[in-house]
Amino acid sequence: MSDPLEIVAPFAEAAEEIRTAGAGSAGLCYQCGKCDVYCPWNRVRSFSIRKIIRQATFGLTEIENDDVWRCTTCGSCPAACPRGVGQVEIAMALRRVASQYGVFPASVRGVRGAGGSLAAEGNPLSAPRARRSDWAAGLPVRPFAEGMELLYFVGCYYSYDPRLQKVAAATASLLGKAGVDFGILGEKESCCGESIRKAGGEAEFKTLARANVKTFIDHGVKRILVSSPHCYHTLKNEYPELMVNFEVVHITQLLVDLIREGRLRVDGEYPRRVTYHDPCYLGRHNGVYEAPRELLRSVPGLDLVEMAESRERSLCCGGGGGRIWAETPKGERFSDLRVAQAVGAGAEVLATSCPYCVTNFEESRLGLEDGLEVKDVTEVVDEVALAGGR
C-alpha cells in the first residue's frame, strides 16, 4: 500500500476528475440528506453517500476508505435528489482516481490488469474463453453471420455460471419457438465491461468495449439482444461514446413484441403466485418497467403480485458497481431484505431479469422453509410458450 502522505497529493486531480466526469454538480449539493435516506446501505449499516459527496467537493476523500467502494450504483439517490447531484458519476470518478494509484479492493484485483481474467479470458469469472459457448451444446444455436435478424450477446454470467446457463438456454429456446434468425459470437464475445467500469477500471472497460465494437462491425451486426440489464445499459448508453450506435433490445422487450406479433404463443398454465423484482439497471437506469410485467401477465394462471417496494423504488439486490465480486457479510445483504419482501407478498416465485439479482436471491433464499423459487422471467415464459403462427 502507498504511503498515506503520498496519497494526499492526487486530490486536486481528483476534484478535477470529478468535474471532467460530468459530476461538477457536486457543488449543487445542499446536504438535504435524501440520498442517505434512500440509500439501501442504511437499511443494513451506517453509511453516508452525502458525506462522500461533500468530501469530494473539496478533494478531501480518503480513497483508502472502504466506503468509496460500497456504492452499488443502484441509482436510488439520484432518483431522489432534488438538485441533480450526480452521485453515481462522482463515485465512479473517485474510483477511477483511486485505481490509478493502485488503491482498489481485493475483490477487483483478480479481474483487472494485464494478468486479470478480463484481459486474459474476456470475462471476470476466470473461465476459459474457448468455453464461452458451452452452454449452447446440444441446442440449435448457430454462430452469428451477417444478415441474421439479431445477435444474441449472451454475457459472461449466462455463458459460464451453471445456474444462469439455464437462463441462456431458455432464451435460445424461446427464440427458436418464435422462429427468430439469431446467432451468437461464442469465444469472439468479450465482457461488455460495465461492472469493471463502475469499479474504477476505465482502461479495462475501453479495451473490452473496443474489442466488442470491432467484432460487431466485422460481423455486420445491426441489432443486439441481451439478457443482462448491465449489458443492456452499457451497450445502449455507453458504447456510443466510441462513435457507434447499434440497436440494443432487452429480452423482455423482444418477447413482448414476439407475442404481440403472434410469433410466440403463451398457452400453458402456470398456476403460481409470482412477484417481479425490478433490476436497478433495467428499471431506474433505463425505465424498463412494463415489458417484464406484461410478459408475466400474459401467462395463463399466473397471479402477479407486487412487493412493498417496486418500480422506481425497487430495492437493489446489492450486485451492481462491482459488488457482485465482493463478499458481503451476512446481515449486510440487501438481497436478504428483498427475499423477505417476496415472502411477505405471499409469492411462490420471485422473478427477475438480471444475472446479479438471480445470483444474490438464490443465495439469500437458502435455508428458507417456504419453498420460494427464484426464476428469470424467460424461464417462466419458456415453460408455457409454444411456437407462434408465423
Q: Where is the domain boundary, 77, 104, 131?
A: 104
Q: Are residues 115 and 153 in the same domain?
A: yes
Q: Are residues 217 and 272 in the same domain?
A: no
Domain residues for the domain of 39 are 4-104
Query: What residue type is 122 in one-letter code?
Result: G
Q: Are residues 121 and 143 in the same domain?
A: yes
Q: What is the pLDDT along the chain (390 residues), one digit of tens a residue?
A: 344 334 444 445 555 655 554 445 556 788 888 889 999 999 999 888 888 888 877 766 678 778 889 999 999 999 988 888 888 988 888 889 888 888 888 888 878 876 689 999 999 999 999 999 999 999 999 999 999 999 999 999 999 999 999 999 999 999 999 999 999 999 999 999 999 999 999 999 999 999 999 999 999 999 999 999 999 999 999 999 999 999 999 999 999 999 999 999 998 899 999 999 999 999 999 999 999 999 999 999 999 999 999 999 999 999 999 999 999 998 999 999 999 999 999 999 999 999 999 999 999 988 776 789 999 999 999 999 987 754
Distances (CA, A) of 206 to 193, 213, 257: 8, 10, 33
DSSP structure string for 149-199: SEEEE--HHHHH-HHHHHHHHHHHHHHHHTT--EEE-GGG-----HHHHHT
Contact 343, 268 (CB under 8 A): no
Q: Are residues 296 and 348 in the same domain?
A: yes
Total number of domains constituting the chain: 3
Q: What angle do CA 329, 309, 348 make, to 5 degrees?
A: 80
Secondary structure class of 213 (helix, strand, coil): helix
Q: Are residues 117 and 252 in the same domain?
A: yes
Contact 345, 307 (CB under 8 A): yes
Q: Are residues 295 and 244 in the same domain?
A: no
Q: Are residues 214 and 151 in the same domain?
A: yes
DSSP structure string for 324-348: GGS-PPTTS-HHHHHHHHHHHTT-S
Supply the CATH number for residue 278's domain. 3.40.50.10700
Supply the CATH number for residue 243's domain. 3.40.50
Q: Are residues 220 and 328 in the same domain?
A: no
Supply the CATH number for residue 10's domain. 1.10.1060
Q: Where is the domain boundary, 104, 138, 164?
A: 104
Q: Are residues 205 and 219 in the same domain?
A: yes
Query: What residue type is 159 in one-letter code?
Result: S
Q: In the chain, which ranges are E strands?
A: 142-143, 150-153, 182-184, 223-226, 247-250, 264-266, 273-276, 303-305, 349-352, 373-376, 385-387
Q: What angle do CA 119, 123, 127 make, to 5 degrees?
A: 105
Q: Are residues 119 and 239 in the same domain?
A: yes
Q: Are residues 75 and 136 in the same domain?
A: no
Q: Where is the domain boundary, 104, 126, 150?
A: 104
The whole-number pLDDT of residue 336 equals: 95
Q: Are residues 366 and 287 in the same domain?
A: yes
Residue found under cell 446489492: 318
- For residue 83, count other CB atoms closer than 10 A to its CB: 13
